[in-house]
Homo-oligomer: A and B are copies of this chain.
Amino acid sequence: MKPYVIGLDLGGTNSVFGIVDSRGEIKATTAIKTAGFGTAEAYVDACVEALGIIIEQVGGIQTIKAMGIGAPNANYYKGTIEYAPNLTWAHNGIVPLADMFSERLGGIPVALTNDANAAALGEMVYGVARGMKNFIVITLGTGVGSGIVVNGQLLYGHDGFAGELGHVTMVRGTEGRLCGCGRKGCLEAYCSATGVARTARELLATTTEPSILREMNPEDITSLDVSIAAGKGDKLANEIYKFTGRMLGEACADFAAFSSPEAFIFFGGMVKAGDLIMHPIVESYNEHVMPIFRGKAQFLVSGLDGASAAILGASAVGWEIQ
């Protein structure tokens, strides 16, 4: 067996590459911006250029067995990215990304999975889900993603697109926030990084609570600013986390009715806030979940470093290709 696979964590903002050995050690990494490309071809060109340098560092393409990609709206069965709302070069069609990379990388096999599915594989192989057969990873980033593991297997559904829990509807009817997917009231519209920033703007506009965030131009506030303010004990920032956490907990109560996981694992920058976000999640979950599920599921924070976890998860997909 060749000693390395390439793992690609393809996010809405950055594309991070790692060359990984069979023990999960990352031997070389590089990254490019994901946005700013008009076509998928231009994006792949830029990727291959960046990859060429680190492939040479580990001994050339002949040392590479395969490539695994974690990406939004990825179709595992077909190796495509389809109608990804957060990717300018794939928001309006079907991009055969696995084949495009394979052709540019000497024909090595390439497999794609949802970026959140890759994170779930990473948790199962290297992280807090080791030994678990039924769990859900929820990724809180530019979007809200999920990787659902059932009976020890990723849930792909009949078309490869299962596990889009960021797009269950939390606020029904016309008053729901507009989501990147074109619909209203999705979990993602409230609990993603952009959703948190929007909650901040709404609370600043509708309350008179003093806050460090009032010193900023409301349009410039990001989830990172909320995080920094919360870390300083800012009461309004804590309210924002409480609102976000309570909605996540209510969503998890519905997810329990679906697949009754033994753990919900949260992943992404927002969970660095620790109890500020996790406490409202658990409290709201226990208020809203069916009595038969109450108190059964663990609520865990990913123990893996953000970028590495996604790369390792993507690499796990690569190792699995025959």
- Using a CB–CB distance below 8 Å, which chain A residues touch chain B? 73, 82-83, 132-134, 148, 150-151, 153, 155-165, 167-172, 181-183, 250, 253-255, 257-262, 288, 290-293, 296
Contact = CB atoms under 8 A, between A and B. Distances in A.
Given A291-B181, A292-B73, A157 B259 contact: yes
A82 B168 CA distance: 28
Nearest to A163: B258
Given A151-B151, A158-B296, 14 more contacts: A83-B291, A133-B158, A134-B162, A159-B293, A159-B296, A160-B260, A161-B260, A162-B260, A163-B258, A165-B257, A167-B257, A168-B258, A170-B172, A171-B172
A166 to B, nearest CB: 8
| Number of identical protomers | 2
A158 B260 contact: yes
A129 B269 CA distance: 42
Contacts of A253: 169
B165 A155 contact: no
Nearest to A181: B290
Contact of A290 (B183, B257, B296): B183
A261 B157 contact: yes
Contacts of A181: 290-291
A134 to B, nearest CB: 4
A172 B91 CA distance: 31
Contacts of A82: 292
A160 B151 CA distance: 11
A157 B135 CA distance: 9
